Structure 1
Amino acid sequence: MARKEIDHPDYHFIKVVMTNGTEFTTRSTYGKEGDTLNLDIDPNTHPAWTGGQQTLLDRGGRLSRFNSKFGNLSFGKK
């Protein structure tokens, strides 16, 4: 039960639109009742969920120095 002396945020229904156009309704404190939240990044496109590869830039040769020094280590891999 919500305490009356605390100013609680307005919790209401909004529509969420994913990057591929699919939509769903959820409860949120975002905006006001009936607003639409259009996502720029979601599990359909973000590499963390899609398994995409992230490239590392080797600035000043640090990555290559690290790999030459520690590249042959296997951390629990057999």
Structure 2
Amino acid sequence: MKKGIHPDYKEITVVLSDGTEMTTRSTMDVSDGIYKSEVDSKNHPFYNKNQKITQKAGRIDRFNKRYAKK
């Protein structure tokens, strides 16, 4: 590796939304060495299959708006 062209690579602690902590190495610039994640595989709709439900709810709402009795 060439000297002086790469960012600092240091240990950080990643705290997931459920409180789980893990230590990894990263070039991320966090002042206290802790990165707090708001979204992870336990609460993101893509991973827990809630995405289909929200899509269906949106389509139902559009249908009700369009064809609601006035």
TM-score, normalisation: structure 1: 0.61
Shift of residue 51, structure 1, vs aligned partner: 1.3
Greater RCO (CA < 8 Å, at least 6 residues apart): 2
Q: Percent identity?
A: 33
Mark the structure with the bigger radius of gyration.
1
Q: Give the count of matched residue pairs.
A: 59
Structure 1 gap segments, 5+ residues each: 62-78
Find the counterpart in structure 1 of residue 55 from structure 2. 55
Structure 2: distance between partners of 1:28 and 1:50: 27
What is the CA RMSD across the aligned residues, in angstroms?
2.5
Name which of 14, 18, 30 aligns with 2:12: 14
Structure 2 gap segments, 5+ residues each: 64-70
Q: In the TM superposition, what are the counterparts of 1:1-78 in structure 2 within 5 Å?
A: 2-4=1-3, 7-32=5-30, 35-52=33-50, 53=52, 54-55=54-55, 57-58=58-59
Shift of residue 44, structure 1, vs aligned partner: 1.0
